[in-house]
Amino acid sequence: MASAPQNPTTAAAAGDALRVADLPGRGRGLVSARSVREGEVLFSEPALLLYPSTLASLRAYCAACFRALPAAAAVPCASCRAAAFCSPACAAAAHPRVLCAALSHGGGAGLAAAAPTEAVQEPLLFLLAAYSLPDPALRAVLSLSSAPPPPPGAQDAAGLHAAVAALAPPHLLPAGFSPDLTAALLAKDRGNSFAIMEPYRPGMSLELLKARAYAVYPRASLFNHDCLPNACHFDYPDRPGTGNTDIVVRALHDISEGREVCISYFAANWRYADRQRRLLEDYGFRCECDRCQVESRWKDDDDDNNGDDGDDAMEEEEDGGDGGDDGMEEEGDANADGDDDFPHAYFFVRYLCDSEGCWGMLAPLPPSPNGELSHVFECNLCGKLRKEEDAMPDEGGSGMVH
C-alpha cells in the first residue's frame, strides 16, 4: 500500500495553473492557463473565513486551527472560557472576536439558547465569524457570488440578525451592520462555504463523518460545478504544521490548456433530479453538463416507467446534504430502466471511491518532482489510497456502476 503524501502541496507549480475567465453563459470560472497533468495540485489556498460547524464542534476542536483538542492539554479561551485551543500558539492567535464575545454572553448559554438546533447554529456561527472580520476581508466575502434567496421558511435571516444583535456588543460590530448586510452575508455563506470534514477513521460510523468546520476560500469559490468534474478538493485538517485548514485542489486527469476546470459541489453519485434541485435552490442554475444531458433522458424514462421515482428523490433531498447518504444514486440505478447507454461508467469506476457508503472523489496523488505520475488515487473524503490497477477489477467484483 502506498503511503499518504507527506506534504500534498509541495509538488504544486503554485498559482500558475489556472486563470479567471468570463465564460459565455456561465459567468466567471477558472480555466487552465497551461496543460495540467493528472494529480497536479492546481492551487492551495488559506481560508478567508473559518468557523465551527456547530456548538458541539466548538467544544471538540481548537477554535483557531480546528485540530482535535488534546483531552488533557486544551487551553481555554481566556476571554469567553467557552472555546478552547490546542496549544499556547493557537491561544495567542485567538478566535473571531465577535464570536468570542457572543460566547461570553451568559457563559455561552446565550448562544446556545439562540441556536438550539444545528441548522441554526451553522449560519449563526458563520455570521459571528464574518462580523469579526476586518473590513477588507469582510468586503472580500461580500464580493463573492451570492446564492439565490432560500425557499420560503428555509432560513430566518431576520431572526439570525436579531440573534447577532442580541449577542454581540455593538462596538465590535462593523458600521454597516444591518438586516440587509446580514442577509447578504448569509447568501455568500450558502453559495461559497466549503466543509472541512472530520477525517474518516476505519470503523467510524458514517454519521460521524460530518463537517467539523466550514471555510470560505475566495479563489476556490470561483470553481463552477460539473457533474463530471475534472478536479476535486482535499482538506487535511489534522496534518502537522501551518496551513492545515488550507484547501488543496488537484486535477483528476490531464487537462489541456484553456479548458474550464470544475469541481462537483456534492457527491458525484447523486441522481439527476437531486443534482438539479440542489443546483437550482442553492446556486440558481440548471446544469447542462454532458452527464446531465444524457441523464435528463433517463429521467423521462423513469417518469414513464415508474411515477414514484421522482417523489422518492424529492423526499430524500429534503434532509440531504449533511454528509449522509440521502438522495444518493445507488449503484445500478443508472441502468435500472434498461438503458444500455451509460457513457460515463469509466468516470465512476475510476474516480468514485468504492469504500462502503463513502462516495468521495478519487484523485491521483501529485506527480513526483521529476514529473513521474503517481498512479495511486486518494479519496478526498475517507482518505483511502487505491492503486490505479485496482480500479478495474474483474467483472462483477467492483460494486460500481458497470
Smaller CB separation from Zn ion, 94 or 142: 94
Smaller CB separation from Zn ion, 17 or 133: 133
Smallest separation (angstroms) from Zn ion to the CB of 290: 8
- Cell 442554475 locates to 285
> Cα separation of 143 and 254, whole Å?
31
Smaller CB separation from Zn ion, 82 or 157: 82
> Cα separation of 127 and 214, whole Å?
12
Tell me the three state secondary structure of residue 11.
coil
Smallest separation (angstroms) from Zn ion to the CB of 225: 7
Smaller CB separation from Zn ion, 18 or 382: 382
Smallest separation (angstroms) from Zn ion to the CB of 354: 8
Residue/partner pairs of 79-86 with CB below 8 Å, 24 or more apart: 79/104, 80/104, 80/108, 81/107, 81/108, 82/58, 82/107, 82/108, 82/111, 83/58, 84/59, 86/62
Q: Which ranges constitute the DSSP H helices of 45-178?
A: 55-60, 88-93, 97-104, 109-114, 118-130, 135-142, 157-167
Query: In degrees to the nearest 10, what's the CA dihedral of 383, 385, 388, 392?
Result: -80
Q: DSSP class of residue 334?
A: G
The answer to whether 32 and 257 have CB atoms below 8 angstroms apart is: yes
Smaller CB separation from Zn ion, 43 or 266: 266
Backbone angles phi, psi at 64, to 5 degrees: -105, -45
Smallest separation (angstroms) from Zn ion to the CB of 90: 3
Smallest separation (angstroms) from Zn ion to the CB of 401: 16
Smaller CB separation from Zn ion, 24 or 241: 241
Smaller CB separation from Zn ion, 299 or 384: 384
**What's the Cα-to-Cα distance from 193 to each of 12, 39, 199, rounded to whole Å?**
24, 24, 18
| CA atoms 147, 149, 155, 157: torsion sign | positive
Smaller CB separation from Zn ion, 86 or 133: 86
Beta bridge partners of 311: none
Smallest separation (angstroms) from Zn ion to the CB of 280: 12
Smallest separation (angstroms) from Zn ion to the CB of 384: 5
State the DSSP H helix or E strand holding residue 278, giving kind and residue range, or none if neither: helix 272-278
Which residues of the chain form contacts with Zn ion (CB under 5 A)? 62, 64-65, 77, 79-80, 83, 86, 90, 100, 227, 287, 289, 292, 353, 355, 358, 360, 379, 381-382, 384
Smaller CB separation from Zn ion, 144 or 379: 379
Smaller CB separation from Zn ion, 145 or 244: 244
Beta bridge partners of 216: 49, 193
Smallest separation (angstroms) from Zn ion to the CB of 284: 15
Smallest separation (angstroms) from Zn ion to the CB of 288: 7
Smallest separation (angstroms) from Zn ion to the CB of 34: 26
Q: Which ranges constitute the DSSP H helices of 168-207?
A: 179-192
Smallest separation (angstroms) from Zn ion to the CB of 30: 17
Beta bridge partners of 248: 44, 234
- Cell 488515487 locates to 377
Taking the alpha carbons at both ends of the chain, their separation in whole angstroms is 25
How open is the CA angle 281-287-293, to the nearest 5 degrees? Answer: 140
Smaller CB separation from Zn ion, 17 or 246: 246
